[in-house]
Chain A
C-alpha cells in the first residue's frame, strides 16, 4: 500500500511538473484532466466532510444539555435548510435557497468581516503597547503612511506624502520581495519533497 501510494504520487507529481513546461495541447489536456480529477475528489471529500459534521453535531446535541443544545441544533437546521432548499427547489435569486443565501448568509458574513476593522485596531493597540523597538518602528511607519495618504497630513507635515510613498515603494517592496524569494524557494522544495515521497501523503506516518 505504502509503495503504491508513493508511485501514484510520484507519477502524478511528475505529470503535473511536465505539463508546466509543455505548452502543447497535450500538456493542457493533462492539466485539465488532473483538475477534473481534483474536482471529483473534492466532491467526494465534501460529502464525507458534511456527513462527519452532521454526525458530530447530532452527538453534540445529544451530549449537551440546556442552552448549549441550541448551537448544534442551529447548525443542523441550517445545514438541512440549505441542502433541501437547493435539492427540492430551483436555485435562483427568488427561490428559497437564493433568499436564504442573500438575506441570511450574506448579511451574517458581512457582519463578521466588518468586525475586522475593530480587530485591526485592537491588534494594533496591543502591538504598540509592547513598546519594543519593532513595535515602535511599526507605529512610526503606520503613522507616516496614514498621514501621507490623507490631505490633512500634508497640511500638518509638508511633503509627508513623498516620504509615505517612499516607505511603500522602497522598504515595503524590498521586504515583500525578500519574503517572496524565501516562500518561492521553500515552496518549491516542499513540492519536490512531496513528489519524491519525503514529505506529504506518501510519508505521513498515520496512514
Chain B
C-alpha cells in the first residue's frame, strides 16, 4: 500500500501544472519538491485523485494454489487464491478475476472463466484427467488495467477409486452383511416380538370375509425400496385373504412393478392384477372408478405414495373398506393416519412382509432385537456429541460429498 501511495504522489507531481519538471532546479530541489507536492495535493480535486488511483493496475493475486479435486471421477481441479489487496468491498478498484489455463508453463494461456470481485476459488470442471495444467489468475481493475498472478506448478487431475467420506457407510454395510450371514446359521426363534401394527394386520386378515380385497403396491417404481417391501407383503397377504374366501385385486401404476407382481403371483389363482398408468393422477382417477365398481371390503395401500395417497384412501373410505396403509414418505404419513384404520409407519412397512412370513421372522426380528441396542447407543451418543460439538462423530456418520 505504501508503494501505491508513493506512485500516486509521483503521478500527482508529474501531472501538476504548478510543478513542471523544468522548474526543478538543482539548488532548490529539496524544498521546492515538497512544497510542490503540498501545492499539488491542495490543487487536485478528490475526484481526480480517485481517478488517478483507479488508473493504476490493481494488486495481483497472491498465494494461488491448484489441487486435484478429492473424491471425484477425474477432470476436476480446485483453485484457491488470496484476494487482491485492492479487492475491498465497495471500493470498486477490482472488477473481477479471470482464470487462465495452459498445458505448458510458458503458455499460451487460455481464459476459461471470468469471476466477480470477492471470489477466491474456482473449480475447473474440464481439466482432462492425466494432463498437466498450469493456471494463473488475472485481476482486472476498474480502468481496464490488470495484473497477472504467478503461474501455478503443474497439476494433473485423476479419479479416485474410493470415496473416503463414505467409509462409515461401508463399515455399516460390512457389519450388516456379516450379521445376515451369521444369522442364517442360527436356529429359528420360537417366540419373536412382532410390531403391534403388524399383529393388527394379522388380526384384521383373520376377520376378513368374502368379498374383494384391493391391494396397491404404491404408485412408484421398483427402484423404491418401499415398493419391494410392499410386494413382499403382497406375497404374504394374497394367500391369507384367499383362505378367507376373498378375491384379491392388485392395481399397479408402474410397468416394471406390474411385471414383477405378475411374476410374484404367477402361481396364485384368481388374483386380478391390473396395470393402469404410470401417471399418478390418472392412476388415482382409474382407481377411484374401479373401487366404486367392485366395492372392496378391505384395501391395502402400501408402498411409494405421494399426493395421490389421500385420493386413493378417500376412494376406499367412501366404499366403507377396512383400510391398511403404509408409506415411507414422511409427508404422506399424517394423511394416511387420518384416513386409514391401520398405518404402517416408516420401518414397520419394511418389516411387515418378513414378519408375516414364518421364515422371515428370523432375520427381520433378530435385526431389530439384537441391533437395536447398538443403534440406540449410537443415536444417544450422537445427540450428546452434537451438543458437545463433536464434529468428527457427525462427520463420520455423514455420507460425504459426491
Check if B266 sits within 8 Å of A206, measured CB to CB. yes
A190–B279 Cα distance when bound, in Å, is: 26
User: Is A15 interfacial (CB-CB < 8 Å)?
Assistant: no
Check if B314 sits within 8 Å of A187, measured CB to CB. no
Q: Is the interface of A mostly helix, strand, loop or mixed?
A: helix
Task: List the 7 shortest-distance A-B pairs measured between CB atoms, nearest first.
Answer: A186-B347, A182-B347, A186-B350, A24-B159, A49-B275, A45-B255, A127-B338
From A23, A41, A122, contact of B256 by CB (8 A): A41
Check if B232 sits within 8 Å of A24, measured CB to CB. no
Q: How many Å from the CB of B300 to the closest CB on chain A?
A: 17
A122–B225 Cα distance when bound, in Å, is: 31
Task: Spot the interface stretch: B10-18, B97-105, B169-177.
Answer: B169-177
A93–B101 Cα distance when bound, in Å, is: 44
Q: How many Å from the CB of A28 to the closest CB on chain B?
A: 5
A194–B177 Cα distance when bound, in Å, is: 12
Q: How many Å from the CB of B329 to the closest CB on chain A?
A: 9
Check if B235 sits within 8 Å of A204, measured CB to CB. yes
Given contacts A42-B256, A113-B307, A199-B232, contact A21 B225 (CB under 8 A): no
Task: Spot the interface stretch: B59-67, B148-156, B203-211, B282-290.
Answer: B282-290
A186–B339 Cα distance when bound, in Å, is: 25
A146–B317 Cα distance when bound, in Å, is: 26
User: Is B52 interfacial (CB-CB < 8 Å)?
Assistant: no
Residue numbers of A with Cβ under 8 A of B are 17, 20-28, 38, 41-42, 45-46, 48-50, 52-53, 56, 68, 71, 75, 105, 108-109, 112-113, 115-116, 119-120, 122-124, 126-127, 138, 176, 179-183, 185-194, 196, 198-201, 204-207
A204–B217 Cα distance when bound, in Å, is: 15
Residue numbers of B with Cβ under 8 A of A are 71-75, 129, 159-163, 166, 169-170, 172-173, 176-177, 180, 221, 223, 225-226, 228-229, 231-232, 235, 252, 255-256, 258-260, 263-268, 274-279, 281-282, 284-286, 289, 293, 307, 310-311, 313-314, 317, 328, 330, 333-335, 337-339, 345-347, 349-351, 353-354, 360, 363-364, 367, 375, 379, 402
What B residues does A52 contact at CB under 8 A? 258, 274-275
Check if B263 sits within 8 Å of A201, measured CB to CB. yes
A192–B160 Cα distance when bound, in Å, is: 25
Check if A192 sits within 8 Å of B177, measured CB to CB. yes
What A residues does B252 contact at CB under 8 A? 49
What B residues does A42 contact at CB under 8 A? 221, 255-256
Q: A56-B274, A120-B310, A193-B180 are in contact. List 8 more A-B contacts (CB 8 A).
A: A22-B162, A23-B72, A108-B285, A183-B347, A187-B328, A187-B350, A193-B354, A206-B235
Check if B311 sits within 8 Å of A205, measured CB to CB. no
What B residues does A190 contact at CB under 8 A? 225, 228-229, 350
Check if A23 sits within 8 Å of B347, measured CB to CB. no
A23–B164 Cα distance when bound, in Å, is: 10
What A residues does B163 contact at CB under 8 A? 21-23
From B129, B176, B256, B317, contact of A189 by CB (8 A): B176
What B residues does A199 contact at CB under 8 A? 228, 232, 353-354, 360
What A residues does B275 contact at CB under 8 A? 49-50, 52-53
Mind listing 23 A-B residue pairs with CB under 8 Å? A21-B166, A21-B169, A22-B161, A23-B161, A23-B163, A25-B129, A46-B255, A49-B275, A122-B314, A123-B335, A123-B338, A138-B338, A181-B375, A183-B346, A186-B229, A187-B226, A188-B176, A189-B176, A190-B228, A199-B232, A206-B268, A207-B263, A207-B264
What A residues does B166 contact at CB under 8 A? 20-21
Q: How many Å from the CB of A128 to the closest CB on chain B?
A: 9
A194–B226 Cα distance when bound, in Å, is: 12
Given contacts A180-B330, A181-B379, A199-B360, contact A123 B225 (CB under 8 A): no
Q: How many Å from the CB of A6 to the closest CB on chain B?
A: 14
A126–B337 Cα distance when bound, in Å, is: 11
Given contacts A190-B229, A192-B177, A207-B264, contact A116 B311 (CB under 8 A): yes
What A residues does B285 contact at CB under 8 A? 108, 112
Check if B232 sits within 8 Å of A23, measured CB to CB. no
Check if B73 sits within 8 Å of A24, measured CB to CB. yes
A68–B290 Cα distance when bound, in Å, is: 12
What B residues does A206 contact at CB under 8 A? 235, 263-268
